Amino acid sequence: MKTYLQLNSSLHGAESLSSRLAGRFIETLVRIDRSTDSTAGSARVVVRDLARQPLPHLTAERFTAFGTAPEQRTAGQAHIAAESDALVAELAAADVIVIGLPMYNFGVPSTLKAYFDHVARAGVTFRYTADGPEGLLRDKRALVVATRGGRHAGTPSDLQSAYVRQFLGFIGITDVEFIYAEGLAMGEESRTAAIAEAGKRIEQLAA
Ligand SMILES: Cc1cc2nc3c(=O)[nH]c(=O)nc-3n(C[C@H](O)[C@H](O)[C@H](O)COP(=O)(O)O)c2cc1C
């Protein structure tokens, strides 16, 4: 049984295009898995909406709690670390991670950044060796559905893609693909074409 983790980060809730496309991506992956592999069984889909249930900003208190040995943590630190541990366990249990990623002011939504800050755990999801950093998560595929009002992919203003790829690679997730729906705020024709194109890419990548 494959486990899919959908991370939504749009503030638009049920209206969000990135969340809807991310959901469609998972539905397509599950459908194709079932049609090509009779042993695929039932899929487990976990949806985490980072905008509806935002994590706090990383503070000194939280960062210190992560780095304190479990037996030395205060009750408050244990509570903070448990929240992060649960997020890491959820991520570690996923075979496929699909991120709905709207662009906000040229960056990733701060809710997604807070999530990244809670799953980047030294000795748990990455470690430093004499040769540099080593990601500790293994055998995962990540698919990122990036939606933008303007057009940025392949230009210097796309600061998101390299950042997300870099972060995921840092924790060991190196199989990462992006689907873009761009020009969403550039008129109805542009929006309709972008959504149709993203739909096609979803079918291609899921196949
Ligand atoms: C606060 C905010 C900031 C935005 N900043 C950008 C931006 O820097 N560049 C851009 O192309 N679009 C920008 N947009 C447009 C969003 O990227 C677009 O509406 C979003 O990707 C649509 O996805 P969603 O429906 O999942 O929210 C912004 C939208 C909001 C609400």
- pTM metric for this prediction: 0.96
Q: How many CB atoms lie under 10 A from the CB of residue 114?
A: 17
Q: Give distance in angstroms: CA of 103 to centre of ligand 1.
A: 5
Q: Where are the domains of the chain?
A: 3-206
Topology of the domain covering 3-206: Rossmann fold (3.40.50)
**DSSP summary character for residue 171:** T
For ligand 1, residues with CB inside 6 Å are 10, 12, 16-19, 102-106, 147-150, 152, 184-185
Ligand 1 atom nearest the C-alpha of 15 is 25
Phi, psi at residue 62, to the nearest 5°? -70, -45
- Distance from residue 65's CA to the centre of ligand 1 (Å): 34
Residue 143, both tokens:
């698919």
Q: pLDDT by residue for the chain (207 residues), tens digit each? A: 899 999 999 999 999 999 999 999 999 999 888 777 766 667 899 999 999 999 999 999 999 999 999 999 999 999 999 999 999 999 999 999 999 999 999 999 999 999 999 999 999 999 999 999 999 999 999 999 999 999 999 999 999 999 999 999 999 999 999 999 999 999 999 999 999 999 999 999 888
The conformational region for residue 160 under phi > 0 = left, psi -120 to 50 = alpha, else beta, is: alpha
Name every residue whose Cβ is closer than 8 Å to that of residue 14 and which is 6 or more positions away in sequence: none
137: its two tokens:
């998560």
Distance 203 CA to ligand 1 centre (A): 24
